[in-house]
């Protein structure tokens, strides 16, 4: 009897999702004779049993399309809003898995999806995940699909901002996505020739950033590009944030965890306006006109790059092979030019941050880029 495969996409949308769906679906059907269905809108669609049969016709022509043909949502099986209340719908998801006689559920997503998939694994379901995120922060994989496309978009934006910054003798502060990690801002900042790059892993001192810009000005360079990750924080705020994060992780009971979470949410609310505040502070400290450009969700959109299409196809087809072999409870990780299964327990709850000794950081410093510290 043919194996029954279910697929869903969860979390934020990302370039390469359709290429990955196509890779899993076509390889499963053509190479291994499996039947494949998709659940619409992530775990919510699976809970509501909204299904589409992923026939060859549906999988054709989607390789170059951005977004996801299945739709997505950020709903979690164990905390799903139902009629104004947060409810644990895990058992319903499990029942629908069994109702379709699935041999495996393939979950395409970032860090949150990996955790939610791991919870379903512990409920006895056969699970395989693929790493998707423009932030490139999924642990245990060389790279996640979606990152290369976003990197290209952010770099092109910085390229375009150079001319207006130069023409008006301005500081241009460009906010790049990356809530908790700096891979995207660091990569685009280096590739785009930003003069200052600020990332979450290196808390910044605004006075030192201003001095670096004044130094450029004294040398006759009358403009500066500041590439800042949306999650970058000044030193004091970063210390408070990471202390609250540790308290939440180490909390021994629900009350302490709730208190730490409330602290984190307060800091998050303050962090949301950091880029605008930074621009205002730099203008005041340097005497130079400063303008903000927030790239936002444009970084998620459009046609995936060839590199992301290749990666998503490679991981998707490897996923079908692991299903054929009965290799479950794993994430399909990119490793060199190949793919390897990594136990989900080693991925869930982990985050791939930029190491402070990473070659990109060293390269940035060597060409005179200021990193805020």
Active site residues: 135
CA dihedral (109, 114, 115, 119) in degrees, to 10, reads: 110
Token pair for 298:
């444009």
How far apart (Å, rounded) are the C-alpha atoms in residues 332 and 325?
13
Rg (CA), the chain: 22
Instruction: Look up residue 329 and give its DSSP letter.
Output: S
Pairing, β 35-39 against β 51-53: antiparallel
Contact 132, 107 (CB under 8 A): no
Under DSSP, is residue 331 helix (H, G, I), strand (E, B) or coil? strand
How far apart (Å, rounded) are the C-alpha atoms in residues 358 and 361?
5
What does the buried/exposed string (b/e) look like for 208-217 if buried means 16 or more CB atoms within 10 Å of the residue's CB? Answer: ebbebbbebb
How far apart (Å, rounded) are the C-alpha atoms in residues 353 and 343?
20
Token pair for 32:
């291994």
């Amino acid at each position: 009897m043919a194996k029954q495969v279910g697929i869903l996409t969860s979390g934020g949308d990302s370039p390469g999702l359709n290429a990955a769906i196509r890779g899993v679906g076509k390889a499963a059907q053509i190479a291994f004779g499996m039947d494949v269905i998709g659940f619409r809108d992530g775990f919510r669609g699976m809970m509501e049993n909204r299904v589409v049969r992923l026939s060859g016709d549906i999988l054709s022509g989607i390789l170059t399309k951005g977004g996801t043909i299945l739709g997505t949502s950020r709903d979690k099986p164990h905390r799903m809003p139902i009629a104004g209340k947060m409810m644990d719908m895990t058992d319903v998801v499990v029942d629908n898995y069994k109702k379709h006689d699935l041999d495996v559920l393939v979950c395409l997503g970032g860090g949150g999806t990996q955790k939610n998939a791991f919870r379903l694994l512990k409920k006895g379901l056969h699970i395989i995940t693929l790493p998707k995120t423009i932030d490139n922060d999924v642990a245990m994989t060389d790279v996640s699909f979606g990152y290369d496309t976003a990197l290209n978009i952010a770099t092109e934006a910085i390229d375009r901002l150079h001319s207006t910054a130069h023409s008006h003798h301005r500081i241009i502060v460009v906010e790049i996505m990356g809530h908790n990690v700096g891979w995207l801002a660091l990569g685009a900042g280096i590739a785009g020739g930003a003069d200052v790059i600020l990332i979450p892993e290196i808390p910044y001192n605004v006075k030192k950033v201003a001095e670096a810009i004044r130094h450029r000005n004294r040398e006759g360079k009358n403009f500066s590009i500041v590439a800042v990750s949306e999650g970058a924080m000044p030193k004091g705020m970063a210390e408070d944030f990471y202390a609250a994060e540790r308290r939440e992780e180490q909390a021994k009971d629900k009350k302490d965890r709730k208190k730490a979470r409330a602290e984190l949410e307060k800091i998050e609310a303050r962090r949301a306006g950091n880029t605008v505040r930074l621009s205002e502070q730099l203008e005041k400290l340097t005497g130079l006109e400063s303008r903000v450009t927030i790239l936002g969700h444009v970084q998620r959109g459009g046609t995936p790059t060839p590199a992301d299409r290749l990666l998503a196809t490679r991981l998707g087809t490897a996923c079908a092979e692991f299903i054929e072999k009965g290799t479950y409870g794993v994430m399909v990780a990119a490793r060199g030019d190949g793919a390897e299964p990594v136990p989900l327990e080693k991925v869930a709850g982990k985050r791939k941050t930029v190491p402070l000794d990473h070659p990109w950081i060293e390269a940035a410093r060597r060409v005179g880029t200021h990193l805020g510290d």
